[in-house]
Amino acid sequence: MANTGLAAMWRASVITIFPEMFPGPLALSLAGKARQKGIWSLDAVDLRDFATDKHRTVDDTPAGGGPGMVMKPDVIARAIDAVADARPRLLMSPRGAPLTQRKVVDLAQGPGVVVLCGRFEGVDERVIAGRNLEEVSVGDYVLSGGEVAALVLIDACVRLLPGVMGQEGSLAEESFADGLLEYPQYTRPQAWEGQAIPEVLVSGDHAKVAAWRRAEAERLTGLRRPDLWAAHLARKREK
């Protein structure tokens, strides 16, 4: 990889039983180009490499009975110990804390992440505590496994790394950057199917454009995400 002159490369290590799912979409577009430049790296770790039996078993029946299988703590611990360093250790889990833009910013400013992708009925609780895994959720729904969620988390972090986005200013105006949803966007043609671009956006008055965009961001946030709007109002009261 090319040397970008950065002090340290942002590193992602993903522990999974499906390493072939990576880099997947992370090999394309901005993330893929940044990886080729050496801005960040990705290591897909096959969990089955750390099993000790000939069948490379990573799961067993749940204690107390019940359907499905549970991922084994000893196998997971060996995998984590093989790649662990000062990076945060994350477990993609529907019961985890919601992934927010603030959390993404914090992770992007660090050295990288170690991500465990859960499967089956989940992960033995003892290894979560024993290896200090932080559970993170990408939404209130259940996926077949943590791999897709890991792709989401890594993509959100990588795009914030210095040198990845073409226009740094665009980061400051997108959804959640200021606790609000992004304002509506328009482009040519000026009239399309009987609908025109709002006149203020073609007025050339930058102050009016900024005011319109702010008002629209607040309107959409209040309409679609009352939780974000309430938090926004609370921050304004504090200031």
- The verdict on 185 and 80 lying in the same domain is no
**1 found inside a domain:** no
**Do 117 and 179 belong to one domain?**
no
Q: What is the pLDDT of residue 176?
A: 83
The verdict on 100 and 183 lying in the same domain is no
Q: For residue range 47-67, what is the model confidence (pLDDT) as tens digits?
A: 999 999 999 999 999 999 999
Is residue 16 domain-shared with residue 84, that is, in the same domain? yes
- CATH number for the domain harbouring residue 223: 1.10.1270.20
Q: Examine the domain organization and report whether 89 and 36 are in the same domain.
A: yes
- Same structural domain, 80 and 191: no
- 203 with 134, same domain: the answer is no
Verify that 27 and 120 share a domain, yes or no.
yes
pLDDT at 2: 43
Q: What CATH number is attached to the domain comprising 44?
A: 3.40.1280.10
Same domain, yes or no, for 38 and 89?
A: yes
Would you say residue 164 lies in a domain? no
Q: 77 with 129: CB under 8 angstroms? A: no
- Token code pair at residue 160: 């914030």
Among the listed residues 81, 221, 97, the one whose alpha carbon sits nearest the alpha carbon of residue 149:
97
Q: Is the pLDDT of residue 171 over 80?
A: no
The residue count of the chain comes to: 239
pLDDT digits (tens, 9 = 90+) for 110-155: 999 999 999 999 999 999 999 999 999 999 999 999 999 999 999 9
Considering the chain, what percentage of its residues have pLDDT values greater than 90? 90
Query: Total domain count for the chain?
Result: 2
Q: Do 134 and 107 sit in the same domain of this protein?
A: yes
Average pLDDT, the chain: 94
Please name every residue paired with 44 in a beta bridge, in sequence order, or none if there are none.
14
Name 35's Cβ contacts closer than 8 Å, sequence gap at least 6.
1, 23, 26, 27, 41, 42, 158
CB 30 within 8 A of CB 164: yes
Q: What range does the domain containing 189 cover?
A: 172-238
Looking at the predicted structure, is the pLDDT value of residue 6 above 50? Answer: no
Q: Is residue 136 part of a domain?
A: yes
In b/e form, how buried is each residue of 208-220, taking b as 16+ CB within 10 angstroms?
ebeebbeebbbeb
Among 156, 49, 61, 54, which Cα is nearest to 99's?
156
- Averaged pLDDT for residues 185-203: 97
Calculated CA dihedral for residues 184, 189, 195, 201, nearest 10 degrees: 50
H or E element: which one contains 44? strand 40-46
Band (pLDDT 50/70/90 cuts) for residue 239 is confident
pLDDT computed for residue 5 by the predictor:
43
Asked whether residue 165 is assigned to any structural domain, the reply reads no
pLDDT of 56: 98
- Is the pLDDT confidence value at 101 over 80? yes
The Cα-based distances of 118 to 21, 53, 135, 136 in angstroms read: 14, 20, 10, 11
What tokens were used for 143?
């996926």
Domain assignment of residue 16, yes or no:
yes
Both 149 and 178 in a single domain? Answer: no
Domain boundary among 125, 158, 191: 158
